[in-house]
Amino acid sequence: MCYYFYRMDFKKPHYRHLAEKWAKRNENYIQKLINEHKEAFEWLAQNTKKLAISSLAGLFIISSPLIAKLTPTTVSAEKSIDRNVFLVSDLSHVLPDEVGPLSEFREKEVEEILERTFKLKIKAQLNGIRLNTTYGKIGAEQHLSRYPGDNIVTHLDSEEEAKEYWSAGMAPGLGGWGYFADSQSETTEKEKMREKYYIAVQAFLAPGFNEDRQRYLDFFKFRKMLVVNPHNGKAVVAVIGDAGPAAWTGKQLGGSPEVMKYLQRYDGRQVRGVLYFFIDDPNDEVPLGPLE
């Protein structure tokens, strides 16, 4: 079913009439284009992989549903196009120009795009709790102490890591939920990954936070989130490991050095937006880290 029909069952009849009819007409156009100009679109599909994603982000104006409908002979070409291209293209149609809270309608569209792309259960609101926004500017955070005595020397496991992440430094204080483990010997791979891939969110600005602080804090502690750079399609599964940044900074969340590097997001004048949604993962099955 075309996603334009999403949740239209309870809408006004005249809206539904037009939306269904116009979505159908659009589908017919796409089908006709594919049937009659297949060779040219196949050629485009095979050649777009050579172009930079950054150029595709703003300019990929052939709709992805059209490319997606190409017949099986095109499947290999379709596969060769980076999934990120489709994601960037799809998101560019639904995200506003300015970074900021999305309307419920837009949020649902984004949820659907992310679910379809990553095959995860993505929620703007989970267990009745939501953050102040799902589309915010991300700043750079520092490494967090995982256990008492953890410092920049013990923190980085290899020369490569040291080279890459030393300069980010250690945060002077602990994360919002204290240490990740009680001691070095009790620090498992799980805690290491939580610290590597953590984000700081403005939990204190979540609607309803002040009415039930403990419930909210328990909910946010190491809660898994999908963080997506909508401009290059890079996505990472991270946990909420800290609270912040302060509202006056103009940023809405922070990312660990590893998160920032993978997403290719930067602080300072280059601060830009990311999408961040809860992952509904009650059995803790979704691994942390980049979604390649």
Binding site for another protein (CB under 8 A): 4, 11-15, 17-19, 21-23, 25-26, 29-30, 32-33, 36-37, 39-41, 43-44, 47-48, 51, 55-56, 58-63, 66, 92-98, 103, 105
Q: How far is the CB of 13 from another protein (least distance, A)?
A: 5
How far apart (Å, rounded) are the C-alpha atoms in residues 53 and 115?
21
* Size of the chain in residues: 292
Q: How far is the CB of 118 from another protein (least distance, A)?
A: 23
Task: Select 39 or 284, whichever has its Cβ closest to another protein.
Answer: 39
Task: Select 12 or 116, whichever has its Cβ closest to another protein.
Answer: 12
Task: Select 5 or 178, whichever has its Cβ closest to another protein.
Answer: 5
Would you state the torsion angle of the CA atoms of residues 101, 102, 104, 107, taken in this order, to the nearest 10 degrees? Answer: -120
Contact 274, 262 (CB under 8 A): no
Task: Select 37 or 79, whichever has its Cβ closest to another protein.
Answer: 37
Task: Select 66 or 120, whichever has its Cβ closest to another protein.
Answer: 66
Task: Select 29 or 213, whichever has its Cβ closest to another protein.
Answer: 29
Q: How far is the CB of 43 from another protein (least distance, A)?
A: 5
Task: Select 103 or 185, whichever has its Cβ closest to another protein.
Answer: 103
CA angle 116, 127, 7 (to 5 degrees): 45
Residue with tokens 């953590």: 198
Work out the burial of residue 276: count CB atoms within 10 Å of its CB; fewer than 13 is exposed, 13-18 middle, 19 or more buried: buried
Tokens of 263: 């997403």
Contact 2, 30 (CB under 8 A): no
How far apart (Å, rounded) are the C-alpha atoms in residues 194 and 214?
21
DSSP class of 223: -
Q: How far is the CB of 48 from another protein (least distance, A)?
A: 7
Task: Select 230 or 257, whichever has its Cβ closest to another protein.
Answer: 230
Q: How far is the CB of 35 from another protein (least distance, A)?
A: 11
Q: How far is the CB of 105 from another protein (least distance, A)?
A: 4
Contact 93, 85 (CB under 8 A): no
Q: How far is the CB of 15 from another protein (least distance, A)?
A: 5
Cβ atoms within 10 A of the Cβ of 80, count?
12
Q: How far is CA 111 from the centre of its chain?
A: 10
Q: How far is the CB of 111 from another protein (least distance, A)?
A: 15
How far apart (Å, rounded) are the C-alpha atoms in residues 55 and 61?
11
Contact 100, 253 (CB under 8 A): no
